[in-house]
Amino acid sequence: MMNVEISRFVMFVLLPRIRAVDIEVSTADNRQYVKLSTYCIIAAGRSFYTFKVKAKNDAHFALMSDDDDTRPLYEIVIGGWNNRKSCIRTGKQLPCLSTYSQTVLSQAAYRSFWVTWIGGNIVVGEGDTINVNGIMSYHHSSPYPINFFAVMTGWGASGHWKFNNDVGCTPHDYNNTRIVENYTECCGNMTYECDKGYYLHSGNLQRTCFPNRTWSGDPPYCKRCKCLIDQNLTTPKDLTKRIEQLTKELKVHYNSTNAFHRRKTCAPDKRHSSICLGWLFGYFVIVSMTITLVITDLKRLYRHICFGED
């Protein structure tokens, strides 16, 4: 008996709390369509949709090719003509192609409806269960692509609409990261941080949920750092010892480089005898070169002075 009571508590108390809150939209008595893309609700990727509406009359639901009610669309009129007739149209205010002559709307309570569009077959029904209790259908031989929704009221009525909040993205977690912001609703962000000892190698640490329920960017890929943090250094004393150790290792590596060996083999000799020998050798070279040049030009110099010849 106790288990049964617990199950009832889980079913009737806990489940409603975790259910996503419906998206609510209001439409004025102005015959102006409100785009549901504003609320991140789009038709692309779907073949059916359910909604609830509370209105006195004339609740219009549009299935649009583009996010523009001047472009091709299917107009579904629910409770038009003072809530006496509903119909399906292939454009705004065009002739009805399928009708249903019963009262379907209420100004005091929400009424549920569903619509499907597969292969050019537009079907509308009452209730929350798809393909149950259909009230209108129309086959369009040249069907429009359906990518967007819009809703409207008018002719003396305003409307209150409820739509399933299924526009969020599925949250993801990745290895070596942790989630610091978890907002999976449409236009919300998932923000990650690298775990200790890792850095971002590719991808994005912040990703945004698009209206088509996909994430922007690429998944974050983190690589492990090769740095002091890998050494589990927990105290300043440990850090100091590690720095001294690295310094010794670097000195050993430097002493084995070519630059270091060239410096050792080509170092200057600062002994006095070496300096004197260097100067003497330099003077000898300079004087020898000068004498050689003078001797080679003596004959030409003599002829020039005596005879004025070159």
Position 127 scores a pLDDT of: 97
DSSP letter (8 states) at residue 29: B
9-30 confidence digits (pLDDT tens): 333 333 333 345 899 999 999 9
What is the reported pLDDT for 200? 86
pTM of the prediction?
A: 0.61
Residue 168 CB contacts under 8 Å (≥ 6 apart), including other chains: 20, 184, 185, 186, 188, 209, 213
Per-residue pLDDT reduced to its tens digit, 111-153: 999 999 999 999 999 999 999 999 999 999 999 999 999 999 9
- Write out the E strands in 164-219: 177-182, 189-194, 198-202, 206-208
Residue 5 has a pLDDT of 39
Q: Where are the domains of the chain?
A: 18-163, 271-310
- CATH assignment of 18-163, among 3.40.50.10440, 3.50.50.60, 3.40.50.740, 2.60.120.560: 2.60.120.560
Q: 């003396």: which residue's tokens?
A: 156
Helix (H, G, I), strand (E, B) or coil at 95: coil
- Report the distance separating Cα 305 and Cα 308, nearest Å: 6
196 vs 301, higher pLDDT:
196
Q: Please state the length of the chain.
A: 310
